[in-house]
Structure 1
């Protein structure tokens, strides 16, 4: 009888040890998910509640076992609300570390330099993890940059951050403006900067292009900037074809081929660098510039020099079959 009791006791103890070993080993075994899975932990969620949601999402095999292991083997730190990307096959130990670490999914929306507001609007509306709607923002009110956001943030809040960033950048640039600048207000600075932004993609040229346009404004010459022809046609979207003669001659509030001075408003959202270029333009006598065939421009002080540069550019275009 005693022998039987000892055998049974041994079996029970052995079973407990095996169960304990399985419990511990299961903490680091690969989980059931085969693909990376987005998992949202709501604010105020408890560890027990999180365990239930993890099981529902197919990230752990058993909510009860995960909860027990987490309490016995896991961190004592609190889990943090957020949206997380759990790798496929993540163990229970790795999942808890993710929830405790609080490093969620990074979501960004990037506004390139010179993007018009209609495209900013479309980009905001296409971000399906944002909520609510917005109107097309005022042209020139957005600072081009990359903005982080979380799932569920409102489009209005993200837009407000973009516009707040532009207001601050403009204030800083205006405070450091040169006496040589031709613009008389922040609004004029943004308008001229938007033209500079669209006319050159070479950062080193910004101040020179700003210098040319500043010189033209001083002497009453027309700016003759092609992007100002396109803006009233497409609100800044690519035209997709050559500009027509009739469009060059069109009279409106933007076309700087048919009017002297600045257009009635910005034609894009300029970078801080372009705003700074307009407020601190290059001191130059140049009044003209044309493409040089390598992505930049060649500048000229006189019409005679400019015409020679234009002839070279046309020769390059012909050679390239443009």
Structure 2
């Protein structure tokens, strides 16, 4: 009898073990299987949250089939205690295992709201935007000019969110004074800065954190430009008429300010390179403008004949060769164009009415192009 009872007990234990194993295997398969989410979502994990709250949020958004299984899986993989606060993009069909990895691996937020401080050539602006998970693109929520004292409520509300990201977007061709002025208007940064050397900052998009110092942002911009400058100088053409990386930086800044069409950079660079080789003055308006404004904002009007004749260290109608400093902060493409200009015989160019330029090798050709441009200007004035 006891032998029969013992035998039945052993059999029952074996059945329970097999059933338990089956449950575990089923749970594992569900945890790693493709999830029910039909479209991407942005999951916000608040500071101090836990896997229980996250699982309820995921369930309510239809991202997981079982909050209990999600929590058990995270606990079993020893990741429950690694939950990170922030906003995370959860792709369509993400498994519970995938989502656990997303909310515990750390790093920068992958979705949510972002404030972008834009430093442009003609103006600065602040843009509040939010990532649309469905398209993967940012949607503008608000935009304003900080120099005019405009501050919409949504800006303050967005700054108050713990997972808001911040970015400084510096356009190609802005001056160092414009960058300094813009950074002084970024109220999430701290500390004071002096005006950086002209041309020393790399135009790019820089992610920052609230509380970062303005000096640290400038240091990152300067280091990025040093890297770009060194790379362009190393790859320069053998016959480029430049004596130093600084000469290349100066020429690149002029190319940047003269180029309305990016594809023309190499041709514009060739004009200046050819002029330098022949001992011709560069005769470029942006250098004259810099001599007037010193890079502090935009001129906002056309140049006068008296200004074209006025002698300043930057007036390339008066001085020979390059001006003493850059006239703006050039980007990578202009640095590369200065280092390796197109091979042409061009020594003249003038606006062609399309935003680009008409290039010429002789003065006669150039005069024809100038006459055509003046005709276009006259027609526009009469419209």
Same fold (TM over 0.5): yes
Task: Find out whether 1:319 has 2:379 as its counterpart.
Answer: yes
Alignment-derived partner of residue 200 in structure 2? 141
Show the counterpart of 1:192.
251
Asked if the contact 1:116–1:235 (Cα under 8 Å) also holds between the matched residues in 2, the reply is no
| Pick aligned residue for 2:273 from 214, 218, 221 | 214
Q: 2:326 aligns with which of 233, 249, 266?
A: 266
Q: CA RMSD in A?
A: 3.1
CA distance in 2, matches of 1:253, 1:273: 26
Contact kept, 8 Å, 1:117 with 1:136, in 2: the verdict is yes
Matched, 1:297 2:361: no
- Whether the 8 Å CA contact 1:113–1:144 is kept in 2: the answer is yes
Matches within 5 A, 1:230-309: 230-236=289-295, 237-309=297-369
Q: Does 1:182 align with 2:248?
A: no
Distance between the aligned counterparts of 1:219 and 1:304, measured in 2? 18
| Mapped partners of 1:131, 1:39: distance in 2 | 27
CA contact (8 A) 1:229 1:255 kept: yes
Shift of 1:40: 8.7
Q: Which runs of 4+ in 1 moved over 2 A?
A: 38-41, 72-82, 96-106
Q: Distance in 1 between matches of 2:208 and 2:268?
A: 35
- CA offset at residue 99 of structure 1? 7.5
Can you list the C-alpha shifts for 1:72-112, whole angstroms capped at 9, x where unaligned? 96965435677x469xxxxxxxxx99975645432110111
Partner secondary structure for residue 305 of structure 1: helix
Asked if structure 1 preserves the Cα contact closer than 8 Å seen for 2:84 and 2:105, the reply is no
- Deviation digits for residues 198-243 of structure 1, max 9, x if unmatched? 0012111111111101111111111111011111222332211111
Higher relative contact order (CA 8 A, sep 6+): 1
Q: Compute the TM-score of the two structures, normalised by the length of structure 1.
A: 0.71
Aligned to 2:188: 129
TM-score, reference length from structure 2: 0.60
Per residue, is there more strand in 1 or in 2? 2
State the Cα deviation string for residues 105-143 of structure 1 (Å, max 9, x = none). 321101111111111112222221112121111100011
Distance 1:281 1:73, change over 3 A: closer
CA contact 2:280–2:320 (8 Å) conserved in 1: yes
Post-superposition Cα deviations, 1:227-264, rounded to whole Å, max 9, x if no partner, equal: 11111222332211111222111111111111111001
SS at match of 2:381: coil
Residue in 2 that maps onto 1:310:
370
Query: Gaps (5+ residues) in structure 1?
Result: 1-37, 42-49, 52-68, 87-95
Counterpart for residue 58 of structure 1:
none
Tell me how many residue pairs correspond in the alignment.
Answer: 257
